[in-house]
Amino acid sequence: MNNYLQTHRYLLQFAIKPSVQRTAVMDYLLKNRTHPTIDEIYSALSPSMPTLSKTTVYNTLNLFLEKGAVQQLVIDEKNARYDIDMSLHAHFICKQCGKVHDIFNLKPELFEKPENTGFSIQNVEISYSGICNSCKGN
């Protein structure tokens, strides 16, 4: 279980000045590895932090992005989604319910940066889409 102090230290690793809000957001990301949207983060934290504003959540995530503490996923056309898991994994988005799931255990070759493309590739993102099992029945 992460506690406030651990998360505090975690932020410092990325040279992010910890504030109450930033620590709460990072704490949420560490505990909820569900590629949340801004709105999901805000809605989850808002009850226990009534003064929190959505602007601050936006500011915070943009700061985390700049500092390299999170990755912005590109799989969902509707909302920006954020991921703290920097390990090699792909994502699956259900076209019906919109939920994003992790896919681990793929061959590492898939994530290699191809050579001789003429571009200096910094990031690789593999996205699958389809219908998830819960939606299949409907």
Which residues of the shown chain bind DNA in the complex (CB under 7 A)?
A: 17, 19-22, 37-39, 49, 51-56, 58-60, 62, 78-80
Instruction: Decide which of DNA, a second copy, none touches 109; Cβ closer than 5 to 8 Å per partner kind.
Output: a second copy
How far is the C-alpha of 55 from the C-alpha of 128, rounded, in Å? 31
Neighbours of 82 (CB within 10 A): 21
Closest separation in Å from C-beta 120 to DNA: 24
Q: Decide: is 34 part of the binding site for a second copy (CB under 8 A).
A: no
> For residues 2, 75, 73 and 7, what is the CA-based torsion angle, rounded to 10 degrees?
-10
Binding-site member from 17, 119, 137, 138 for a second copy (CB under 8 A): 119
Closest separation in Å from C-beta 71 to a second copy: 11
Closest separation in Å from C-beta 34 to a second copy: 16
Nearest residue to 9 via CA among 17, 25, 29: 17
Residue whose structure tokens are 């949420």: 28
Beta-carbon contacts of residue 97 (< 8 Å; ≥ 6 apart): 132, 134, 135
Instruction: Decide which of a second copy, DNA, none touches 127; Cβ closer than 5 to 8 Å per partner kind.
Output: a second copy
61 and 29 Cβ atoms separated by less than 8 Å: no
Q: Decide: is 5 part of the binding site for a second copy (CB under 8 A).
A: no
How far is the C-alpha of 128 from the C-alpha of 136, rounded, in Å? 16
Task: Please report, as ranges, the residues that interact with a second copy according to CB under 8 A.
Answer: 72, 74-77, 80, 90, 92, 94-95, 101, 103, 106, 109-110, 113-114, 117-133, 136
